[in-house]
Amino acid sequence: MNFVEAIRDGHLYQLSNNELCYIIGLGVNYPNGADGSTKGLAILYPERVLDVPVSELSFTGMAVGMAAQGLRPVVHHGRIEFAMLAFDQIFTQASRWNYMFGGDYPCPISLRICIGRQWGNGPQHTANYHSMFIQSPGLDVFIPATPEDVFRGLIYSSSIDRPSVFLESRWLYRTSQDFEATFDNSQGKFETASIYGEGNDFTLLTYGDGLVDCLKFIDFCNENYGYHGRVICLKYFHADLRYSEELIQAILNSNNVLAVDTAPFEGGLLASFIGYAVTHHKHESLKVEKCSPPHHPCPTSPLLVGEYYPNIKSIAASLSNFGFTFNELPELLFDDLHVAPNFDYSDYKYVNIY
């Protein structure tokens, strides 16, 4: 199942299990709506899969109002830059709703917001503002990295009463994974991160679309250099408790941490997590390096994009600051840098932490 199919299956579960659920967004009723992630749903549920005027602020606000009265709307924004027109409703209304009214007044809106890299999209279609969402209490934030993450996340989000935001990387839409498409919500929790690999020479800390290159790098090191590392991939941030104790312990118990961020590092999600983890435990020391894009927007031309995002070579270069040596690195092809990956996660084992 690929990433897009996993979203669609998640929506099918939501629509068929709860008649209060609505899918709202520009073109979600098209034959290949929302990049295929809502394909065919409007035929099955014409009253609850709704195309809307190009009024991002107001259709999002309408969904906030619906949610506050007990409906379960899921709103889709095709790019973060358009969702930003609705930030008043997402941040100032939905995230604070239950809090500002003194509790017992939930607002279970769910938002799917496409974010980050895509070829040819340029400075105004590829921003990575994950950290803004993390900084706002009141929103459950999901950053799915795999088809299984997004499927399970959508189903989990239907069971909670807090507003939830999925920061969805379109770059990952062609990735695939074999997994059992069922999810038992009875445990009442969702993994805050997953750890891939068991090596302890180094730890790559990443999230979302950073995972693919991190896994490729782990394979490359195992095969060519005998360095054995692991990846901690952040996946879910609870509205009230952003970083769990287990997650903080996991990072503090890691050797040679390399933050692999697909957003500029300054003020970003990984910088703030590392800062929190280190200061949370009486100023523990942690050896950290970073591998991230430069602090400017992503340009459009592939020639200018070049190696803007982290890749096997730049991860190796950053890791060499810890003393690892890499004599020979693979040549990166155009497709490695500029085309969304067909990566298959199926053979990668992981352990969830909560």
Give the interface with other proteins as residue ranges (CB under 8 A).
Answer: 50, 52-53, 55, 57-71, 73, 88-89, 92-93, 99-103, 105
CB of 276 to other proteins, least distance (A): 25
Burial class (CB in 10 A: 0-12, 13-18, 19+), 256: buried
CB of 167 to other proteins, least distance (A): 22
CB of 267 to other proteins, least distance (A): 25
- Provide the 3-class DSSP secondary structure of residue 28: coil
CB of 115 to other proteins, least distance (A): 23
| Closer residue to other proteins in complex, CB, 62/172 | 62
CB of 44 to other proteins, least distance (A): 17
Distance CA 43, CA 316 (A): 49
| Closer residue to other proteins in complex, CB, 71/353 | 71
CB of 66 to other proteins, least distance (A): 4
- The backbone region for 102, taken as left when phi is positive above 0, alpha when psi lies in -120 to 50, beta otherwise, is left
Residue of 121, 39, 38, 47 whose CA lies nearest to 77 = 38
8 Å CB contact between 41 and 12: yes
Residue of 149, 307, 324 whose CA lies nearest to 235 = 149
| Closer residue to other proteins in complex, CB, 89/244 | 89
8 Å CB contact between 342 and 176: yes
Q: Up-side HSE of residue 80: CA atoms within 13 Å toward CB?
A: 23
Distance CA 59, CA 351 (A): 38
Name residue 105's amino acid: Y
